[in-house]
Amino acid sequence: MTTDEIPPGHVGNLTEEQEIKLQELWAMTLKVFGVKPEGREDQASMRSAESTSESPSPEKKKGGKKRLGLFSRKDDEPGKANELNTENGISASLAGVKISDSDDKYGQLKDFQQAIADESPEDLRVTFWNMVKHDNPDALLLRFLRARKWDVHKALVMMISTMRWRLSEMHVDDDIMKNGEALALEQSQSSDPAAKKAGEEFLHQIRMGKSFLHGVDKNGRPMCLVRVRLHRAADQSPETLERYTVYTIETARMMLAPPIETATIIFDMTDFSLANMDYTPVKFMIKCFEANYPESLGAVLIHKAPWIFSGIWNIIKGWLDPVVAAKIHFTKSVDDLEKFIPRGRIMKELGGDEDFEYKYIEPQLDENAKMEDTARRDELVAKRQALCKEFQTATFAWIAATSKGDTEAVAVEKAKRADLTEKIRKGYWELDPYVRARSYYDRTGVIMGGGKIKFYPDLEVKVNGADS
């Protein structure tokens, strides 16, 4: 893909000013993580060899932190405090940074403050690299920068609050993705009523195909079909539905490969009735994409919405950020869908030509056997952790070379970071079966391992965004 084909503000197509903003966010982020320019970490971050792909130990979360300033003295302004220090760590306020209610509809400034107060720098760093997975680390930071219109301080608040959400609220990597569908099956067979109910509710949604991932649109973006008619609020608890939603989003992330960074969602409103309407999951989904998975939506297609939905839509669109709202399109026919998806990739149930029919395959015996090999897992974790530390060191070197105007050194460090990014990507896929439970998409051969994604049977295999 040429620079002209890469969207502005993405890796490979940054202006000089945008690249400086990326460097500023990296500098602030690494300081929050307790990483020093020399590549050494504060003692709080060195307390253990906690891996970048294992959940932080609870007993380590509230350890002492060294004094740590986010902003250098060159950022001083009259009347503006630029050091965020207290005796015990980073100050629980962004001194001098004002975020209006319209910019902080989800209370992320408070979440940021809570993250700084409650989580150790190491735990936040671990959570960050857990979220990176096979992604380009720069691409992840750029999502937050674009979402906050290149305001570095607001992007930092948004990103760190997201790390707290993943770590302490949703437990995305140490529970939802680690345990996956296999845990739900185990719970459904439990003698404990609460566990049994949670497992059965999760599996009920996935077995019926209330939503599922299948195929790509004209832009190569993975698609998620949501059959709204299958939803009934009483069929599952809000907590189970949230878990199912995050599980689906995170699984879709496994299917993203450069240069594709977004997905398309189709809400099939065929046979929709008021019995299917449930505002709670709608609000949760909106918050996920606006607050915790910014810049992840390519398009949202609301297909065959009946007239009774018009009043509901007037309520929902009032909750949406204008940027997200602009990505929503109403479609009535297969011809409308064809503007976004080739007819041959539109399923017959939507009026297209593709013969695909969703049929859930249950978790298989021993499909997660590698997760029991903790010795191999720890070996791969240590390897990944070393690569991540190298990347952090190279990032500081890249920033320093840029500040000195040393173009030759900048080129060297950029090349080093690009090489490390690729190693981190490949290393993740080697580690993946040891830290993520297999999913329906692994069992059906969509996620093939090694970063290979096969969206359609007997057709192209996408490897890092290219045909093979």
Rounded to 10 degrees, the C-alpha dihedral 295/451/243/327 comes to 30
Predicted pLDDT at 66? 31
CATH node for 190-350? 3.40.525.10
Predicted pLDDT at 3? 53
Using pLDDT thresholds of 50, 70 and 90, give the confidence band for residue 258: confident
Helix (H, G, I), strand (E, B), or coil: what is residue 387?
Answer: helix
Which residue, chain included where needed, has tokens 């903003």? 21
To the nearest whole number, what is the mean pLDDT of the chain?
87
The two most distant CA atoms of the chain are separated, in Å, by 66
Please give the model's pTM, rounded to 2 decimal places: 0.88
91 vs 325 pLDDT, higher one: 325
Residue 2 carries which DSSP code? -
Cα separation of 349 and 366, whole Å? 34
- Find out whether the peptide bond into 58 is cis, omega within 30 degrees of 0: no
For the cut 90, the answer to whether the pLDDT of residue 207 exceeds it is yes
Query: How many CB atoms neighbour CB 7 within 10 A?
Result: 12
In residues, how long is the chain? 468
Phi, psi (deg, nearest 5) at residue 289:
-75, -30
Query: What does the DSSP assignment read for 155-195?
Result: HHHHHHHHHHIIIIII-IIIIIHHHHHHHHHHHHT-SSHHH
Residue 220 carries which DSSP code? S
For the cut 90, the answer to whether the pLDDT of residue 206 exceeds it is yes
Which residues face 86 on adjacent strands? 89
Task: Using the Cα atoms of residue 120, residue 124, residue 130 and residue 134 in order, give the sign of their dihedral.
Answer: negative
Predicted pLDDT at 4? 60
Which of 77-81, 239-243, 443-447 is least confident? Answer: 77-81
pLDDT single digits (tens) 83-104: 343 333 444 444 445 677 667 8
Using pLDDT thresholds of 50, 70 and 90, give the confidence band for residue 457: low
For the cut 50, the answer to whether the pLDDT of residue 448 exceeds it is yes
pLDDT single digits (tens) 127-158: 999 999 999 999 999 999 999 999 999 999 99
Cα separation of 235 and 378, whole Å? 40
Which of 101-110, 203-212, 425-434 is least confident? Answer: 101-110
- Kind and range of the H or E run holding 453: strand 452-453
The letter for the amino acid at 23 is Q
Mean pLDDT, residues 191-196 taken together = 98
Which of 12-21, 66-75, 397-406 is least confident? Answer: 66-75
User: Range(s) for CATH 3.40.525.10 in the chain?
Assistant: 190-350
For the chain, report the end-to-end CA distance as a whole number of angstroms: 16
Helix (H, G, I), strand (E, B), or coil: what is residue 212?
Answer: strand
Mean pLDDT, residues 369-391 taken together = 98
For the cut 60, the answer to whether the pLDDT of residue 389 exceeds it is yes
Cβ contact 188:203 at 8 Å = yes
pLDDT single digits (tens) 34-91: 998 874 444 444 343 344 445 454 444 433 333 222 333 333 333 333 334 333 344 4
Question: Given phi > 0 = left and psi -120 to 50 = alpha, else beta, which region is 83?
Answer: beta
Q: How far is CA 190 from the centre of its chain?
A: 31
**Percent share of the chain, pLDDT over 70:** 83
Mean pLDDT, residues 194-218 taken together = 98
Could you tell me the CA-to-CA distances from 263 to 122, 220, 297, 371, 423 in Å, in that order? 31, 9, 5, 29, 25
Cα separation of 212 and 208, whole Å? 10
Predicted pLDDT at 467? 41
Cα separation of 65 and 87, whole Å? 9
- The angle at the Cα of 421, spanning 419 to 424, to the nearest 5 degrees, equals 110
Predicted pLDDT at 78? 34
Predicted pLDDT at 104? 85
Tell me whether strands 85-86 and 222-227 are parallel, antiparallel or unpaired.
Answer: unpaired
